[in-house]
Structure 1
Amino acid sequence: MKRGLNKNQVTREASDFAESLIEQLNFLIDFCSKYDHGNFNYSKQLAKTVRILVHDTANSTSLLSLLKCKNTMKFNSTASFPKNAIFFLGLVFPVSIQRMTEDGSPYNEHVYLPSLSYNKEVYTKRVDFNTWWNQNIIISDTLTFSRKDMIKYMSNQDGGAHVDETVLEKYYKISKATASMFYTIDKPLSEDPYQQGEPFKYLHFAVVRQIAHELILSIKREFNLDVLYNGTNKYNLNGLNIKPTEFIIARGTQLEY
């Protein structure tokens, strides 16, 4: 909805929006590089920038809407999304990475990382905005999120744009790693079937990083932009050679798409 102008306002030129797109895309790429070098908290800046680019509300219009392309362009979707999934995790993967304490002692950190473009089992699809934005990218009995959910919660409640006094419970649980899709355990389940295990951390950060990856590729293609972007897990994997795979539990005997 176009709001009326007061005497101190002027209408932007179409070229202003194009310049802003390049600016916001470069912000995305810079924040992704920070994440890719171990600064996972930069996902909060990614969430805010993604929101600026694609999220419309009654009081604000997204940049892609101002460019009149959001509902006509296609968006990269980097997971398979079977229709009959009851547990699903496709944009990210869990991994145990060896870190060092300040005194040089090694320890394992159990985290999620974005799949980026490494998941060769899934062909990148190009879908309309509503499909991309509203698909459930995490599906479980307690932790179900769409891309829209994750971006809104992080940017609106968790420091992307501001910090709210309250936050949605399921988002709070993954942000504090009190709930997770995967847990690491010290003993075989046959020895201790009731052990609680340690949850893998940073699921929300990895998901937002992957959303940013998809959006960067989508915008580059739509506007034929020659900007340098090389998303990588090289530094965060710290020498590990991991092939990301989707985690799926589905109803029935085969996956349905």
Structure 2
Amino acid sequence: MDQDELERQLKKQLEYLTRSAEAFDAGYQDEAPRIATTIRILLHESRRSRSLLGLLQVRGKTEIISTSTFDFKTDKTYGTCTLTGFESDSQGMRVVPQYDRVVRSSPIPAHQWWNEVIFRMPQMDKFTRRDFVLFCANKDGGAHIDKYPEKFQRIKDGNINLTGKKDGEEFKFTSILECAVRQMAFEILNSQDIQTLVPS
């Protein structure tokens, strides 16, 4: 593909991302695999494939906003996903994307954003944005359906030593993965470097 076609593809992928994010916000959390698939197309590099930003030769100089609320390199606290928060309504407590309700919102290089640790719990591995996106896109119905690896199954099932209560009954938080992926879409769509790449 020539440069013009690559730029058209970028515009199309960002339009997909916007529409899926809007659908997610309207209550369709099953849009998360579509969001993840689009993010994978934009950023994932492997021996067999190039990212769209890589093909545009801008991945190495593009910065993306990070709203992660912990720096796991310096803060060893175990906690829930740094891209999600909690909201209480008539239905009780639930996991939500942070959107712009964060104490940190700063652009970092795309490769650092992609590999930044965003989730860590006791007796579980650390997880990066890359981990969440590739799992959600590749294993959770985005590109193909496969058996969940145990560590992701625990997140999907809410078995992460984090519970809430409603009407005196304990419940698990089961939408951390989906809400984290939605927050990544927020970060990408609000990054100036990404927007300047889109042809007018």
Q: Give the TM-score, by structure 2 length.
A: 0.88
> Of 61, 81, 106, which aligns to 2:70?
81
Instruction: Identify the residue that residue 15 of structure 1 maps to in structure 2.
Output: 4
Q: CA deviation at 1:139?
A: 1.5
Contact 2:64 2:193 (8 Å CA) reproduced: no
| CA distance in structure 2 between the partners assigned to 1:224 and 1:64 by the alignment | 9
Q: Which residue of 2 aligns with 1:241?
A: none
Runs of 5+ unmatched residues, structure 1: 1-11, 99-107, 189-194, 228-257
* Structure that is richer in helix per residue: 2
1:151 matched residue in structure 2: 133
1:39 aligns with 2:28: yes
Is the radius of gyration larger for structure 1 or structure 2? 1
Match of 2:107 in 1: 126
Q: How big is the shift at 1:187?
A: 8.6
Kindly tell me: are residues 224 and 60 of structure 1, through their superposed partners in 2, closer, same or farther at Cα, counting changes over 3 Å? closer
User: Secondary structure of the equivalent of 1:87?
Assistant: coil
The percentage of counterpart residues that share the same residue type is 25
Q: Secondary structure at the match of 1:167?
A: coil
Take 2:185 and 2:45, find their aligned partners in 1: how far apart are those partners?
A: 17
4+ runs deviating over 4 angstroms: 219-222, 224-227
The AA in structure 1 aligned to 2:179 is A
State the partner residue of 2:14.
25
Query: Which deviations, in whole Å up to 9, do the C-alpha atoms of 1:136-161 show, x marking residues without a partner?
Result: 10121144311000001111111011
Partner of residue 117 from structure 1, selected from 100, 108, 122: 100
Q: Please, what is the CA RMSD of the aligned residues?
A: 2.3
Tell me the distance in 2 between the aligned counterparts of 1:186 and 1:38. Answer: 21
SS in 2 for 1:113: strand
* Offset at residue 184 of structure 1 (A): 1.0
How high is the TM-score relative to the length of structure 1? 0.70
In structure 1, which of residues 13, 27, 48 is the aligned counterpart of residue 37 of structure 2?
48
Structure-1 residue corresponding to 2:86: 94
Count of aligned pairs between the two proteins: 196
- 1:86 alignment partner AA: T
Measured after TM superposition, the shift of residue 70 of structure 1 is 0.6
